[in-house]
Amino acid sequence: MKLAILDDWFDTLRGLPCFSKLDGLDVTVFADHLPEASALVERLRDFDAVVLFRERTAVTAELLDQLPNLKLISQRSVYPHVDVHPCTRNGVLLCSNMHSGTPSFAAAEHTWALILATMRQIPQQMASLQAGNWQMGVGKTLNGRTIGIYGYGRIGTAVETYAKAFGMNVVWWASEQGRARLAVAESRAAFFAQSDVVTVHVRLTPETWGMITAEDLAAVHADALLVNTSRAGLIEAGALFEALNAGTPGMAAIDVFDVEPITSANDPLANHPNVVVTPHIGFVTEDEFELQFTDIFDQVVAYGKGAPIHMINPEAWT
């Protein structure tokens, strides 16, 4: 099997224990990013299988229709970046472990890092000190404040554990199904209004796209912080930037963006004075990579043995 691994920007995977699972395969690791379909066609023309690095590369019908040798795409988790119907039409099997029972500590820890960094003004205090100044302002203590967690899943429940360790009060909101399983705020409006920190932990699907609206953000008070380490598309397009300009919420901490990677130094949201930002690194730890790519490489090996696992479009196999 001739296998391509895309978008390993820091050439990390070869150093992980799980990489040995691919011993005996013809593996090429690409550390750069090619956004254009035409360039990807030229790169991938001779490969039988492709490993995707999260959503870094979109797999479109335009691409798939020009890769007659491709038979397998292996990745992990949700797949809004993969056009499944053209995969099936072209006989390309998509395998993706949805890992419903696997903890996801990296994203939860990064969420907490952003909360602490923003509430204690760590980036601003650091910049002030490095500029030859001393303190530049006054931060906020988390103990006794209220955190609103939107999304009752693996990451949200991990964040709840951290919040309670810091002495915060926790309120919840979730889908109708999720709300039936836990005690939630008395209303959606109350959830946003009473939270000093709102953090979002929901998978991006067609149903959840734009689920947090301008009206929701307007209900958040001016001293509150909104955190998004999930997906930018969960928030109505343009609504967060406009809300920050209006002062509700007063702060945001963002790890995800509508278009990634950001290549402009002048991106309006990334440069907003009331925002702390990171370049989608919530999952970027060696430990998380080992966890994720163990699953991804297991899928490659299983396919090579004629017994594929975690098939999203099994009709492409049968």
10-residue mean pLDDT profile of the chain (318 residues): values are: 97 97 98 94 97 94 97 94 97 91 86 98 98 97 98 93 98 88 90 98 92 97 97 96 97 95 92 97 95 97 98 94
- The predicted structure's pLDDT at residue 103: 67
Question: What CATH architecture applies to the domain 105-277?
Answer: 3-Layer(aba) Sandwich (3.40)
280 as an active site residue: the answer is: yes
**Chain mean position to CA 134:** 35
Judge: domain 2-100+286-316, CATH 3.40.50.720.
yes
Give me the half-sphere count of Cα atoms (radius 13 Å) on the Cβ side of residue 165. 7
Q: In the chain, where are the structural domains located?
A: 2-100+286-316, 105-277
Which one from 62, 260, 288, 290 is the annotated catalytic residue? 260
Which one from 110, 231, 236, 310 is the annotated catalytic residue? 231
Domains 2-100+286-316 and 105-277 in one fold: yes
231 as an active site residue: the answer is: yes
201 as an active site residue: the answer is: no
| Widest Cα–Cα separation across the chain | 67
